[in-house]
Chains A and B, each alone.
Chain A
Amino acid sequence: DAGVTQSPTHLIKTRGQQVTLRCSPKSGHDTVSWYQQALGQGPQFIFQYYEEEERQRGNFPDRFSGHQFPNYSSELNVNALLLGDSALYLCASSLGQLRYNEQFFGPGTRLTVL
């Protein structure tokens, strides 16, 4: 049973560019959440998708957008990249939105903005 997978593993972009990160949830899971983890910090919640809609959002600008597909996989898009967007982007999946449901994390995508 495959866990949460993310692609690509690493990515290098320049300021002003756009980037798309991808996530496939654990088999049987229908909810996907995205997090940004800056170096030496805890993950910061970006948003959560359930039934192909954004259900919750953290304190991130509109440059961060996402999508969930009918097969529950998800994309995170970041426009007009800034140096400060350099971070590890984590995807987590769960079954349903209940707050005590365990979230399973992927290994992350390391984004470097030059």
Chain B
Amino acid sequence: GNSVTQMEGPVTLSEEAFLTINCTYTATGYPSLFWYVQYPGEGLQLLLKATKADDKGSNKGFEATYRKETTSFHLEKGSVQVSDSAVYFCALTGSDKIIFGKGTRLHILP
């Protein structure tokens, strides 16, 4: 069945560092791919999405490219801020339900 694997955390970076959180997926057909973010004490928020191969999703300085050849959707940001500290979830939709990865906790040190 469909599945999502993302790098385990926590990931700790200094402010203004470059961020990569790896995500790979297994799916039949052509899923849509998402990154969600969960700030402490809050629900999940959609960060970005891509609905077909080679699409690049972007939002708030974060980017991810849908790579069908490597079945990946890695999240990147050129310069992280303390306010980016949160848990990030990679997800895909196949047949109308979302499958989430386990999440990667990100700590940004000032």
Interfacial residues, chain A to chain B (CB-CB below 8 A): 4, 33, 40-45, 48, 55-56, 58, 90, 92, 97-100, 102-108
12 A-B pairs in the complex with CB atoms less than 8 angstroms apart: A4-B43, A33-B98, A40-B102, A42-B101, A45-B98, A45-B99, A90-B43, A92-B44, A100-B51, A103-B46, A106-B43, A107-B42
Q: How many residues of B contact A (CB 8 A)?
A: 25
Whether A97 contacts B96 by the Cβ 8 Å rule is yes
Partner of B44, one of A44, A56, A90, A98: A90
Taking Cβ atoms with an 8 Å cutoff, the residues of B that contact A are 4, 31-32, 36, 41-46, 49, 51, 89, 91, 93-103
Cβ of A58: which chain B residues have Cβ within 8 Å of it?
97
Closest 4 pairs (CB-CB, A-B): A42-B100, A105-B43, A99-B93, A105-B44
Question: Smallest distance from the beta carbon of A48 to chain B beta carbons, Å?
Answer: 6
A56's partner among B31, B95, B100, B103 (CB-CB below 8 A) is: B95
Chain B residues whose C-beta falls within 8 Å of the C-beta of A41 in the assembled complex: 102-103
Identify which of B43, B95, B98, B99 gathers the most chain A CB atoms within 10 Å of its CB.
B43
Find chain B residues with CB under 8 A from A100 CB.
32, 49, 51, 93
Give the nearest-CB partner of A41 in chain B: B102
Interface majority SS (helix, strand, loop, mixed), chain A: loop
Residues of the B chain whose Cβ atoms lie less than 8 Å from the Cβ of A108: 43
Query: Is there an interface contact between B43 and A103, defined as CB atoms closer than 8 Å?
Result: no
**Count of A-B contacts judged by CB separation below 8 Å:** 58
B80 to chain A, nearest CB (A): 22
A79 to chain B, nearest CB (A): 23
- B97 close to A48 (CB less than 8 A): yes
Bound form: Cα–Cα A107–B41 in Å: 7
A56 adjacent to B32 (CB under 8 Å):
no
Nearest residue, chain B, Cβ from A104: B46
Min CB–CB distance B48 → chain A (angstroms): 11
Q: Of all chain A residues, which has the CB nearest B103?
A: A42
Q: Shortest beta-carbon distance, B42 to chain A, in Å?
A: 6
